[in-house]
């Protein structure tokens, strides 16, 4: 079965979505206030996802899934995703304020969802290790508090990689934040991934990436992929299959 990836869905449904009439969906935070290409972006995601993903496939969601402030606010966002095919594997993004304890979230979400939080999961012949990540040293505005969070996330990534190494499978890392600064300089995140022999790093967070912005594709022996839905035209991208 195949594995796909997408991130930064930024859903905010106010009521259960009528799948037969997506144009009538009511949202609390329309994303087209940021750019016209986000107009009813959920309709684009639904149609693209349905055309690509099969029931036995897996979709990796690299954070910022819902604008909900509380877990109960996300009910219709996850109901919408639940009606899409495939298993869904989530990590936390910087806007996922609804993210509480894993026990509460697991009790709330349908069975087709799995969570990664400083942990790993074997998926179709590879082990995916996940944590939120943070902006890295050298990033614009990086300060003392950022350094504290960065070091904490570094430890969390190492926890996930330590678990993942025990599986003996090729390692993939899923972060929400990119693992480097705007200059694509090597960071402790990347050094850690290289030390563990990670073959691929998936991330989101970046929006309205300009054509002249050079993103990392492959460096330090690692393949990098940006999954933000507006960057990949609101369609899950194929990652691998066993």
pTM of the entire predicted model: 0.96
**Neighbouring residues of 132: CB distance < 8 A, sequence distance ≥ 6:** 63, 91, 92, 93, 94, 153, 156, 175, 176, 177
What pLDDT digit, counting tens, does each position of 230-240 carry? Answer: 999 999 999 99
Q: How far is CA 143 from CA 84, 138, 146, in A?
A: 40, 9, 5
What pLDDT digit, counting tens, does each position of 17-60 carry? Answer: 999 999 999 999 998 888 888 999 999 999 999 999 999 999 99
Backbone φ/ψ region at 233: left (φ over 0), alpha (ψ -120 to 50), beta: left
pLDDT at 242 over 90: no
| Confidence class for position 88, pLDDT limits 50, 70, 90 | very high
For residue 97, which phi and psi values (nearest 5 degrees)? -65, -20
| Confidence class for position 136, pLDDT limits 50, 70, 90 | very high
Average pLDDT, the chain: 95
pLDDT at 65 over 90: yes
pLDDT at 211 over 70: no
Please tell me the predicted confidence (pLDDT) of residue 58: 98
Please tell me the predicted confidence (pLDDT) of residue 208: 82
Mean pLDDT of the region 164-172? 98
For residue 13, which phi and psi values (nearest 5 degrees)? -65, 135
pLDDT at 213 over 90: no
| Confidence class for position 212, pLDDT limits 50, 70, 90 | low
d(CA 139, CA 143): 9
- What are the tokens at 89? 């594997």
Helix (H, G, I), strand (E, B) or coil at 70: coil
Mean pLDDT of the region 194-219? 89
- What are the tokens at 57? 């496939």
Mean pLDDT of the region 215-237? 95
**Neighbouring residues of 129: CB distance < 8 A, sequence distance ≥ 6:** 116, 119, 120, 157, 160, 161, 163, 164, 171, 172, 173, 174, 198
Q: Hey, CA dihedral for 129, 187, 102, 110, is it positive or negative? A: negative
Q: Are 215 and 181 in contact (CB under 8 A)?
A: no
Mean pLDDT of the region 117-142? 97
Mean pLDDT of the region 184-205? 97
Full set of structural domains in the chain with CATH: 2-241 (3.60.21.10)
**Neighbouring residues of 113: CB distance < 8 A, sequence distance ≥ 6:** 78, 81, 82, 87, 88, 89, 90
Please tell me the predicted confidence (pLDDT) of residue 130: 97
Q: Token pair 């509380």 is at which residue?
A: 70
d(CA 182, CA 139): 6
CB atoms within 10 A of CB 64: 23
| Confidence class for position 216, pLDDT limits 50, 70, 90 | confident
């Amino acid at each position: 079965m195949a594995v796909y990836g997408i991130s930064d869905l930024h859903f905010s449904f106010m009521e259960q979505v009528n799948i037969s009439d997506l144009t009538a969906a009511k949202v609390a935070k329309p994303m087209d206030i940021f750019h016209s290409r986000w107009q009813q972006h959920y309709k684009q995601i639904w149609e693209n996802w349905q055309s690509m993903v099969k029931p036995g496939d897996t979709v990796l969601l690299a954070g910022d899934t819902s604008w909900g402030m509380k877990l109960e606010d996300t009910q219709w966002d996850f109901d919408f995703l639940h009606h899409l095919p495939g298993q869904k594997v989530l990590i936390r993004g910087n806007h996922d304020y609804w993210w509480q304890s894993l026990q509460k979230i697991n009790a709330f979400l349908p069975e087709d969802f799995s969570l990664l939080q400083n942990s790993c999961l074997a998926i179709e012949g590879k082990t995916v290790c996940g944590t939120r990540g943070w902006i890295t040293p050298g990033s614009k505005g990086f300060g003392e508090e950022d350094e504290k969070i960065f070091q904490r996330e570094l430890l969390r990534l190492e926890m996930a990689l330590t678990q993942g190494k025990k599986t003996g499978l090729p390692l993939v890392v899923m972060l929400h934040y990119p693992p480097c600064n705007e200059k694509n300089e090597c960071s402790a995140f990347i050094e850690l991934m290289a030390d563990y022999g990670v073959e691929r790093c998936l991330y989101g967070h970046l929006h309205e990436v300009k054509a002249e912005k050079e993103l990392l594709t492959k460096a330090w022996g690692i393949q990098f992929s940006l999954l933000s839905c507006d960057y990949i035209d609101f369609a899950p991208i194929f990652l691998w299959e066993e």
